[in-house]
Amino acid sequence: MGYDDPNNPGNSSKHHTGKLCIEGCGRPAGTRWSPYWCFECNVRRMQRITAQLDALMIKMEKKALVGEEKSDGIHDGNDA
């Protein structure tokens, strides 16, 4: 990903907007991933989003499994 690597070009000062981080930490805002957060806060934000996406994917996979079971049931019903 690179967002958590301070040496990644996406985290270089050329992405700084000249404004301060939206979290109020006092560091300069602006990375390749967002103009509103500084590097440190952006890493925390991305990790939060990644965790939420993981949870969502697990939920969707569970739903998909339930859906397959249901459609199998309907299929069996049509055959009978």
Q: Report, in Å, the least distance between residue 25 CB and Zn ion.
A: 3
Task: Report the b/e string of 43-57 with b at 16+ CB within 10 A.
Answer: bebbeeeeeeeeeee
Region near Zn ion per CB under 5 A, out of 10-18, 40-48, 61-69, 70-78: 40-48
43 sits near Zn ion (criterion: CB under 5 A): no
* Choice between 39 and 53, CB closer to Zn ion: 39
21 sits near Zn ion (criterion: CB under 5 A): yes
CA 15 to chain centre: 20
What is the C-alpha to C-alpha distance for residues 41 and 16, in angstroms, rounded to an integer? 14
Kindly list the residues in this chain that would bind Zn ion in the complex (CB under 5 A): 21, 23, 25, 27, 38, 41
